[in-house]
Homo-oligomer: A and B are copies of this chain.
Amino acid sequence: MAVYTDISETDLRAFLAQYDVGELTSYKGIAEGVENSNFLLHTTRDPLILTLYEKRVDAGDLPFFLGLMQHLAEKGLSCPLPLPRHDGRLTGELSGRPAALISFLEGMWLRKPEAAHCGQVGRALAELHLAAQDFSIRRPNALSLDGWLDLWAKAGPRADEVQEGLQAEISDELDHLSGHWPKDLPTGVIHADLFQDNVFFLGDRLSGLIDFYFACNDMLAYDVAICLNAWCFQPDGSYNFAKGAALLAGYQSVRPLSANEQAALPILARGSALRFFLTRLYDWQTTPEGALVVKKDPLEYLRKLRFHRAIVSPSEYGLEIAS
């Protein structure tokens, strides 16, 4: 949860005057998004989301993020649509931050998703991958191997404070991943953060995807591995085979994974678990006491990493392997 920057109604009115959005009747800071400040606006027309981009987001990346959302929406994917100003631009400035006005997507994220929901998430992820194929702007994944090594250089020396033996285990893992990370798999735009709070449902029907602020170019199957980590483990840490099978089948019903992608799933899942372990470890060590964010437990992802390390065949994830 986060509202880092407050805004005055006077500044907000001046900002909104550059858009065609009706009359403002209410705005409330909402407890969503960890990187940015978000407000839910009511107007005499439709509700809107106002996002103020805080310093963790590089303003130079905004054309990629907002352009991608616009591109996906035009392709018929259900996601928030950035509204253009009178001058055509997708961002303005508010309270000293770059800011964008984005359509409000009705729906709720699921606290307790079931296998059928995971199937829809798999399908939506594949649809996203296909819809983004002809998106022209590129953004490298800053949180792949090189990024992990950078994070580890900062967080590693104090890792054993979190759990004895972590330093050696993660160093070994990074060595292994550096030597075996796939190089020739199909790439494209990936969401890279499709956790439960970024997928909305209305009843049992997926109503849209949100929060494209980690999207980047990388291996498409890596995005699938991220979703396995995000959606298919139980609160007790165990892997849920039915959810994994549903997610993978849903994905493959839209975009079948190649034999190479299938074979790479375990190592991609290890890399993905390590990625979230490392950012959580780093945040754990560096978030100041009293900050307005909930620190997430890095050890949840250590347990997932160990699970993936023991996987022999991707069929253990529930993948139906063509004979």
Contact = CB atoms under 8 A, between A and B. Distances in A.
A78 to B, nearest CB: 14
Interface in A228-252: none
B106 A42 contact: yes
A3 interface: yes
A202 B28 contact: no
Interface string A1-29: 10100111110000000000000111111
Interface stretch (A150-158, A261-269, A284-292): A284-292
B108 A26 contact: yes
A32 interface: yes
A30 B28 CA distance: 6
Interface of A: 1, 3, 6-10, 24-32, 40, 42, 47, 104, 106-108, 110-112, 200-202, 289-292, 294-295
Given A3-B1, A110-B9, A111-B8, A40 B28 contact: yes
Contacts of A200: 26
Contacts of A111: 6-10
A113 B15 CA distance: 19
Given A111-B8, A291-B290, A292-B292, A202 B31 contact: no
User: 4 tightest A-B contacts by CB?
Assistant: A29-B31, A8-B111, A289-B289, A25-B106
Contacts of A108: 9, 24, 26-27
Given A1-B1, A290-B290, 6 more contacts: A8-B111, A9-B110, A9-B201, A27-B108, A290-B295, A292-B292
A247 B111 CA distance: 47
Contacts of A26: 104, 106-108, 200
Nearest to A7: B111
Contacts of A292: 1, 292, 294
A28 B31 contact: yes
Nearest to A6: B111
